[in-house]
């Protein structure tokens, strides 16, 4: 039997942040139930046999939309500046991605004297689409067919196992399109990595006697033996919670293949994207981001798949409809003091800083309701 003031299902970023706030600020006892053998969710990083810190579930390029989230996390870690530079491999050549002025010049073999010059040129490439509301039309209407086919089409098909026409415009819309020289992958001003890794940062959050963690524990195997005095936070898949009442939600997962090399460096930057017919979407040399000094390096290749742990909610019509039904149940279950939070539970393509911000917002709400 597990009994506590608060029960948290899942020890990912949301579970760790809420446990920390609830234990330290509300002084309530918390018990986290986690299926995996570690905390930190998909942010989990660890040191491999060559002493290299690597991101087991794919690179997490932490950045902050809201400085409050950065300030909050600064209680648990020191920082190193983010170094998030990505290149796309098109016909054996490296191009900056997100597309920037250098990408345009190299791709079209043309020099642009000014931004205006470039914008005028792109105007001739764009396809006029009245209401671009899928992932393909979004790009066609901004960049035209040549760039769409070179940089987006196959990458998106591989990543999602679906045609871009069937996916929300927000998916390809995540990637900025730039008419300047900015080479960084994301737009946010604050781009920082935890100096000693994500796992250490989240571990520090949980350093409180009021927080207990059961690892290697599947909530669904012990569900009827779990009790809370105050409330429960659930960060897993919503369809499973409700016994698939409205059917299964689809998820996209990834398989990572890691390989160590006795070389200081292999890639020119942390990530290469492959918008071609290879089976993998990207290769990552995380050392560029962790800035470790070593004679070894580790490269991971990412192979998208439909099976395995859920990583990405799928933003298409079918899953959108199913989730809406579960959302009604979720809103109702708040009455039982059960709260759904995070990328899985909300079935939304949030970034790490966004899920942490949402967890802090939820905490403020809980604080008002449950403060002794």
Cβ–Cβ < 8 Å for 210, 21 = no
Give min distance, CB of 123 to ligand UDP, in A: 22
> 214 CB contacts (<8 Å, ≥6 apart)?
2, 31, 32, 33, 34
Binding segment toward ligand UDP, per CB under 6 A, in 14-22, 111-119, 154-162, 332-340: 154-162
Choose the binding region for ligand UDP from 114-122, 151-159, 200-208, 289-297 (rule: CB under 6 A): 151-159
Residue of 26, 18, 32 whose CA lies nearest to 219: 32
Looking at beta carbons only, is 152 or 339 nearer to ligand UDP? 152
Residue 97 sits at the vertex; the CA angle it makes with 183 and 73, to the nearest 5 degrees, is 65
Peptide bond between residue 130 and the one before it cis (omega within 30 degrees of 0): no
Question: Residue 328 phi/psi, 5° resolution?
Answer: -60, -45
Between 40 and 171, whose beta carbon lies closer to ligand UDP? 171
**Region binding ligand UDP by CB under 6 A among candidate stretches 12-20, 111-119, 170-178, 203-211:** 170-178
Contact between 88 and ligand UDP by CB under 6 A: the answer reads yes
**Distances from the Cα of 269 to the Cα of 83, 103, 164, 279, angstroms:** 9, 16, 27, 21
**Site for ligand UDP (CB under 6 A): which residue of 33, 143, 171, 299?**
171
Of the residues 42, 103, 134, 172, which one makes contact with ligand UDP according to CB under 6 A: 172
User: Which residue, 96 or 236, is less far from ligand UDP as judged by CB?
Assistant: 96
CA distance 350 to 118: 32
Residue whose CB is less far from ligand UDP, 172 or 300:
172
What's CA 356's distance to the chain center, in Å?
A: 12
Nearer to ligand UDP, 107 or 152 (CB): 152
- Count of other CB atoms within 10 angstroms of residue 17: 26
Q: Which is nearer to ligand UDP, 107 or 339 (CB)?
A: 107
The number of angstroms, rounded, from the C-alpha of 243 to the middle of its chain's C-alpha atoms is: 26
Q: Binding to ligand UDP (CB under 6 A): which residues in 221-280?
A: 273, 275
Residue 350 as a binder of ligand UDP (CB under 6 A): the answer is: no
Residues that bind ligand UDP (CB under 6 A): 88, 97, 151-152, 155-156, 159, 171-172, 174-175, 273, 275
């Amino acid at each position: 039997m597990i009994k506590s003031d608060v029960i948290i299902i899942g020890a990912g970023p949301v579970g760790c942040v809420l446990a920390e706030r609830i234990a330290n600020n509300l002084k309530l006892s918390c018990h986290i139930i986690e299926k995996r053998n570690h905390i930190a969710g998909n942010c989990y990083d660890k040191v491999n046999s060559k002493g290299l810190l690597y991101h087991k579930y794919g690179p997490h390029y932490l950045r902050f939309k809201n400085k409050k989230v950065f300030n909050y996390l600064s209680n648990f870690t020191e920082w190193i500046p983010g170094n998030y530079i990505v290149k796309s491999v098109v016909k054996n050549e490296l191009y900056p991605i997100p597309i920037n002025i250098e990408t345009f010049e190299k791709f079209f073999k043309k020099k642009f004297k000014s931004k205006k010059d470039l914008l005028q040129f792109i105007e001739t490439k764009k396809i006029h689409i009245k209401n671009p509301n899928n992932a393909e039309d979004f790009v066609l209407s901004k960049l035209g067919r040549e760039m769409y086919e070179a940089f987006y089409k196959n990458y998106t098909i591989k990543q999602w196992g679906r045609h871009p026409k069937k996916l929300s415009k927000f998916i390809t819309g995540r990637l900025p399109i730039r008419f300047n020289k900015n080479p960084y992958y994301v737009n946010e001003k604050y781009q920082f990595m935890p100096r000693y890794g994500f796992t250490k940062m989240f571990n520090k959050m949980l350093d409180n006697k009021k927080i207990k963690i059961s690892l290697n524990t599947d909530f669904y195997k012990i569900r009827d033996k779990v009790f809370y005095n105050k409330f429960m936070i659930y960060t897993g898949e919503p369809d499973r919670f409700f016994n698939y009442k409205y059917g299964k939600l689809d998820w996209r997962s990834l398989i990572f293949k890691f390989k160590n090399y006795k070389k200081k460096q292999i890639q020119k930057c942390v990530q290469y994207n492959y918008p071609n017919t290879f089976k993998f979407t990207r290769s990552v040399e995380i050392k560029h981001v962790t800035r470790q000094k070593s004679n070894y390096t580790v490269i991971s290749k990412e192979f998208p798949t439909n099976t395995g742990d859920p990583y990405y909610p799928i933003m298409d019509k079918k899953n959108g409809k199913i989730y809406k039904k579960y959302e009604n149940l979720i809103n109702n279950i708040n009455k039982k003091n059960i709260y759904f939070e995070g990328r899985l539970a909300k079935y939304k393509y949030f970034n790490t800083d966004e899920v942490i911000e949402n967890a802090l917002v939820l905490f403020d709400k809980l604080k008002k309701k449950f403060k002794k």
